[in-house]
Amino acid sequence: MTASEKGFLLLCAELGDGLSPLTPAQLRTLRARVLAAEGTAGEPDRPLTAADLRALGYDAAFSDRVCALLGREERLASYLAVAAERGICPLTRVSPAYPARLRRLGDAAPAVLFCRGDAALLARPAVALVGSRELTKAGEAFARRVGELAAREGLVLVSGDARGADRTAQEACLAAGGSVIAVLPEGLSERSSERENVLWLCEWGWHLPLVPYRALERNRLIHALGEKTLVAQSRLSGGTWRGSEENLRRGWSPLFVNTDGGPGCEALIAMGASPVCLEGLNALGSLRSAMLPLFP
């Protein structure tokens, strides 16, 4: 681990010690101020005192917080040692294996990720699938077909491991010999590293419990990790709708929507998403062909 990677983890990882880590935007601002200050190296793990930070324009409370975060070296070593025993490894924005597609999120790109499984999947071509937990027959058939075709065409399937569309597509992809990246709203403690062709991924910390806001936050990672994103089914509210609508506004990835996916899908198409139907997928037998010219 490099000094820069260690600095990112000290400042931005949840280590279960009650300290609130910096957000990616706060870290970016801190790095920019350190870089701009005369005679500093500009690295996020540079030894800084509270006086240094106040000289950079921070108040006493923030300065003390940063110093406390940087002082967690023993805690970090212990946290990572337990993670390694469980087959979990960290990735930071300065790690060589950090997925380039996440950088399209800008300031919302995660500073710290934790992985369990085959991290090499992050470098392969991928397609994302999102959708409702309560599926109609049409939504279920669409999700299953996307999983099957992703496997057939050598595309990693990115999803969220929620019941409904996520797991339907994931299981279909794995059953067809494909590979899956599952982006979780909670930590990785309960996820097996022994399942082949699966990478479990989470943000902030590998030990964290499930809380509702993390389920919404992780949606941006799913949309950004897929070179293209498909929506199997959506209501006019909920996580699938919010993530897809934000993707359309921010341009994380081209969005393709099941024409039989319900009122949310109809609204997304009206907002500019590209329509895709199950009959078209079956007739073409190819995700790439259905989404030309956006896939080579």
Distance of alpha carbon 116 from alpha carbon 167, whole angstroms: 18
Same domain, residue pair 133 and 259? yes
> pLDDT of 39-54, one tens digit each?
544 444 456 788 889 9
285 band by pLDDT with thresholds 50, 70 and 90: confident
Considering only residues 286 and 167, tell me which one the structure prediction assigns the higher pLDDT.
167
Question: DSSP letter at 278?
Answer: H
pLDDT tier, 85 (very low <50, low <70, confident <90, very high otherwise): very high
The percent of residues in the chain predicted with pLDDT above 70, rounded, is 94
Q: Is 254 helix (H, G, I), strand (E, B) or coil?
A: coil
> 178: closest CA among 187, 169, 186?
169
Q: What is the pLDDT of residue 42?
A: 46
Q: What is the CA radius of gyration of the chain?
A: 20
Residues 217 and 132 reside in one and the same domain: yes
Residue closest to 240 by CA, chosen among 253, 260, 257, 226: 257
d(CA 64, CA 182): 36
Inside any domain, residue 93: no
The long-range contacts involving 189-197, CB below 8 angstroms and separated by at least 24 positions, are 189/86, 191/116, 191/117, 193/86, 193/87, 193/88, 193/116, 193/117, 195/117, 197/118, 197/121
Residue written as token pair 């406390």: 68
Tokens representing 77?
Answer: 């070593």
Q: Are residues 134 and 218 in the same domain?
A: yes
Number of domains in the chain: 2
Q: Is residue 163 part of a domain?
A: yes
Nearest to 175 by CA among 199, 208, 145: 145
Residue 196 burial (CB count, 10 A): 8
User: Of 68, 85, 102, which one is at a domain's C-terminal end?
Assistant: 85
Does 34 share its domain with 167?
Answer: no
Classify residue 214 by its DSSP letter: H
Q: Is residue 107 part of a domain?
A: no
pLDDT for 193? 64
Same domain, 282 and 143: yes
Question: What is the reported pLDDT for 293?
Answer: 54
102 is a domain residue: no
Query: According to the model, what pLDDT value does residue 286 have?
Result: 81
Among residues 32, 65, 85, the one where a domain terminates is 85
Q: What is the pLDDT of residue 45?
A: 45
Provide mean pLDDT across the span 241-263: 95
Is residue 135 located within the same domain as residue 80? no
User: Do residues 139 and 62 both lie within one domain?
Assistant: no
Whether pLDDT at 124 is above 60: yes
What confidence score (pLDDT) does residue 39 get?
Answer: 54
- Checking if the pLDDT of 120 tops 90, the result is yes
Question: Could you list the residue range(s) of the whole structural domain that residue 79 is in?
Answer: 3-85
Q: Read off the pLDDT of each residue in 208-217 and give the average, rounded to a whole number.
A: 85
Pair 185, 38 in one domain: no
Whether 251 and 209 map to the same domain: the answer is yes
* Domain end call among 85, 110, 137: 85
Positive or negative CA dihedral for 29, 32, 37, 43?
A: positive
Tokens 């369990």 locate to 116
Contact 203, 110 (CB under 8 A): yes
Does 131 reside within a domain? yes
What are 12-38's pLDDT values in tens digits? 999 999 999 998 888 888 888 888 885
Cis? peptide before 254, omega within 30° of 0? no
Residue 99, in any domain of the structure: no
Given CA atoms 115, 117, 118, 123 in this order, what sign does their dihedral have? negative
Residue 88's closest CA among 226, 258, 179, 205?
205
- pLDDT in the model for residue 292: 60
Query: pLDDT tens digits for 217-230?
Result: 899 999 999 999 99
The CATH number of the domain holding residue 172 is 3.40.50.450
Average model confidence (pLDDT) across the chain: 90
Q: Tell whether 189 is covered by a domain.
A: yes
Tokens of 112: 């710290």
Specify the residue for token string 């801190």. Answer: 30
Who wins on pLDDT, 45 or 203?
203
Segment 129-176, tens digit of pLDDT: 999 999 999 999 999 999 999 999 999 999 999 999 999 999 999 999
127 and 67 within one domain? no
Residues 250, 158 share a domain: yes
Do 158 and 281 fall into the same domain? yes
Do 154 and 126 contact (CB within 8 A), yes or no? no
